[in-house]
Amino acid sequence: MVMEEKVEEEARASELESSMGLHSHGKLLSSYLGLGFFLFLALLPSSSSISQLSNLHLKFQAEQELCSFKSYERRTPKPTPEEEKRMVDQIHTATEEITCLRAKVAELEWFEAKLKAKVDELTREVGEMEKMLHEPNKISPNFSHLSFSYFPH
């Protein structure tokens, strides 16, 4: 048993030494990781700097679009006064044509409404006539007093 106790004591001693060595390495590693995380957080941009970056990006895009528009404007030739007059005349002619077409559409819509009313009226009259023909005792056609002779007597 004495032997077993000595082996156990040696095992405990080696465990203690290794845990102390690991413990000091663990503290060093923990400090290193904490310092690294602190630096990471310190270097992160704040929300205000993110919004500033976003605003700068939007301004940059707007300036690029403005530059491309200006370059397009420079490349596109401006019309001569004669061409401008012709374009203005075309606009006036198209405007007059639009006005005439709108008047024609209004006239056709009025005519369509009138025709629909007439169709409704005729449909109602036909329905009344059919009802009179199918109802007995309302109209009793008695044609006995008429003579249908094609040959004279």
64-96, pLDDT tens digit by residue? 888 888 887 777 777 788 989 999 999 999 999
Number of alpha helices (DSSP H) and beta strands (DSSP E) in the chain: 3, 0
**pLDDT confidence of residue 74:** 75
pLDDT at 95: 93
The confidence score (pLDDT) of residue 97 equals 94
- Cα 71 to Cα 59, 62, 101, 114, distances in angstroms: 18, 14, 40, 58
CA 33 to CA 116: how far, in whole Å?
87
Both structure tokens of 73: 């404007």
pLDDT beneath 50: ranges in the chain? none
Residue 136: predicted pLDDT: 65
- What is the per-residue pLDDT for 106? 93
pTM given for the model: 0.36
